[in-house]
Structure 1
Amino acid sequence: MSSSTDTAPAPAAAAPPKPGAGLLRRLVETPEVGVVVACVVVFTALAIDKSTFASAVNLQGMGFDLAQYGLIAIGESLVILTGGIDLSVGALLGTSVILASWFNVRAGLPAGVAILFTLAICGTVGLIHGLAVTRLKMPPFVTTLVTYTVAQGVTLAITSGTSIPGISGFFSDLGQSYLAQIPVPLVLFVIVAVAAWFFLERTYQGRQVYAVGGNAEAARLAGIRGDRRVVSMYVTSSLLSGLGGMLVLGRMGVGSASGVGVGWELSAIAAAVIGGVSLMGGQGRIMGIVAGAVLLELINNGLTTLQINSNYTQIVLGAVLGIAITADRLRARRLAKRR
């Protein structure tokens, strides 16, 4: 006869997690995985449709373009991480092309000195941006919009609508050379991306940038000198615009501002947002930014390879940017609900 004190059967032991399940879940939850997959899908589709798309010549051409757009995308992203925005990156890139040409040809300075002078001016512009935002509390949008307008005016004033020929061959060596069949500008872009990744992910100052962008007041109460981080990011953004200008000048072989940098700030912002950088600041990683820049280059080059009217490129870019911003706001709302 059974006793009333008989114990209930013990519950079955939980099934052990499948090997690799945790890794797969973390991979799926990684914010950048979506844009990386999109890059693979777009590249594969275009390569299947057009065999010339995956040719060595076309890939090298994309490498040159990616370096130019990617540099200003990284600079733009660093500013956005602090909760700001830099609308001057494209115009400043175009101005740096003219400044370097003028220093080299009209002022007769060696190419290396002309580059240093140009980068010094770009860095000073970034310093002014940072001080205006932190000390004068001017809105970043307005501050950098002023520079956007002034930079375009300076470019036209220096050139009077004409180009500056006769630049040093050093610029061509910088903007058109290869290292083991890899474009030198692409190598420089990778170096800058790795340096930015190391700064943000592996240094105390980099973590402070996220803290300032996430909650400036909390960062201040924690003893973080947020103003310094904001200023340094604006300076870095302007310097990367200047560096991008040197690469563009090397590819063109002549100092011309015709269409150079116009609208590039939109591409930079799009690459950042597509890559997972929140427009509210404090969220985003370099891997996503690079993937966002790659995706935009694949789309731009793909439309050209498919011989689609270039006017539609801006439509596609605008649509992609709109989708990215919408996704950013939905992601922000989801995070707010979790908190």
Structure 2
Amino acid sequence: MKTTTAPATTEADAAPPPRTSLPRRLAATPEVGVVAACVVVFVSLALDKSTFASAVNLQGMGFDLAQYGLIAIGESLVILTGGIDLSVGALLGTSVILMSWFNVRAGLPAAVAILITLAIAGTVGLIHGLAVTRLKMAPFVVTLVTYTVAQGVTLAITSGTSITGISGLFGDVGQSYVAQIPLPLIIFAVVAVAAWFFLERTYAGRQVYAVGGNAEAARLAGIRGDRRIVSMYVTSSLLSAVAGIMVLGRMGVGSASGVGVGWELSAIAAAVIGGVSLVGGQGRIIGIAAGTILLELINNGLTTLQINSNYTNIVLGCVLGLAITADRLRARSVARRS
């Protein structure tokens, strides 16, 4: 009988792969650029204007960050599946009006008004998900319809007037502090950690990346992609309503004037700046949070420097354009390496 012997293992084969240095590992992290940008912008503004780093201003940024951050997380979850949600800002504004109307005009307790509004928002998200998965409608079109309808509903309910006399519960949520930290910022942090855990530590979260990266391959692997897509649209709509609670608490009245208008652009910008690919399947929560922080630093910095607010959208558009360009260059680089 002929016997064979295994090839001898050389010392080079047995040696473990060389360890990468910490600077190289950091440089290879997709989010390091936006995190570094946050540090540079903050330090520059703090050195130029001492009031920028004051406790009062930082607390104000914390309130704003929580509002934008929640809808940015919801928007990012949808983008990870390869979709888009243009209704997050308009739905936030409608949620503010619905909670005010249920609480004041219908005479319902604040908690009940919140629950009903959350149920309505969740239903809207469910409709989005089913239209995209069952009817194969383009996410852009579906959510654009909701964007238009939501704005119309908001104006129809208020008739251009504000709803006053809302419950103090909204103020307790939107204006309270815990150890000098704004309560909305803590809520945002909890949601961000929960989203991070879901995406990076659960099987369902990995399925979201798989569906967004290659829906057909995910289907052949036995992943029920439709469920993941629907759940992300529902989550996005719910987070818009939760952000609406914070906005209503800060304003103290149910007003339709400018609330949530254009916020969907900020949410998309924060996601893309944070490394979320517009084609889906790529992006992490830490980058999304950093992207939101960077936008808030820029917005607040322009105000602190007393720059005309009309230039804010110009700066935001330029930052978004650079982020989208970087996203496409990154996608082409990955394609070439593959």
- Shorter-chain TM range is over 0.9
Aligned partner of residue 108 in structure 1, secondary structure: coil
Secondary structure of the 2:170 match is: helix
In 2, Cα distance between equivalents of 1:103 and 1:26 = 52
TM-score (norm 1): 0.94
Counterparts in 2 of 1:1-339, with a 5 A limit?
Answer: 21-339=20-338
* C-alpha deviation, 1:23, in angstroms: 2.3
Displacement of 1:253 after TM fit?
0.2
Aligned-partner Cα distance in 2 for 1:323–1:257: 32
1:24 CA drift (Å): 1.9
Provide, for residues 151-191 of structure 1, a one-character-per-residue CA deviation record: whole Å limited to 9, x for no partner.
00000000001000000000000000000000000000000
Shift of 1:26: 1.2
Question: Structure 1 stretches of 5 or more lacking a match?
Answer: 1-12
Matching residue's letter, 2:113? A
Counterpart CA distance in 2 for 1:257 and 1:181 is: 30
- How many residue pairs align between the two structures? 324
CA distance in 2, matches of 1:100, 1:159: 12
Give distance in 1, aligned partners of 2:257 and 2:70: 20
Which structure's CA Rg is the greater one?
1
Q: Distance in 2 between matches of 1:218 and 1:22?
A: 35
Cα deviation code 1:60-118 (max 9, x no counterpart): 00000000000000000000000000000000000000000000000101000000000
Q: Deviations over 1:177-227 (max 9, x none)?
A: 000000000000000000000000000000000000000000000000000
Cα distance, 1:21 vs structure 2: 4.9
- Tell me how large the CA RMSD over aligned residues is: 1.3
CA drift of 1:257 comes to 1.2
Other structure's SS at 2:21 match: helix
For residue 45 of structure 1, what is the amino acid of its counterpart?
A: S
Show the counterpart of 1:6. Answer: none
Q: How far does residue 22 in structure 1 lie from its aligned partner after superposition?
A: 2.3
Q: Which runs of 5+ in 2 are unaligned?
A: 1-11
Q: TM-score, normalised by structure 2?
A: 0.94
Offset of residue 25 of structure 1 = 1.1
Deviation for aligned residue 1:20: 8.2
C-alpha distance in structure 1 between counterparts of 2:56 and 2:216, whole Å: 50
Structure 2 CA distance for aligned equivalents of residues 195 and 205 of structure 1: 13
For residues 30 and 111 of structure 1, what CA distance do their matches in structure 2 show?
44
Residue 299 (structure 1) shift: 0.1
Amino acid at match of 2:330: R
Distance 1:253 1:147 in 2: 26
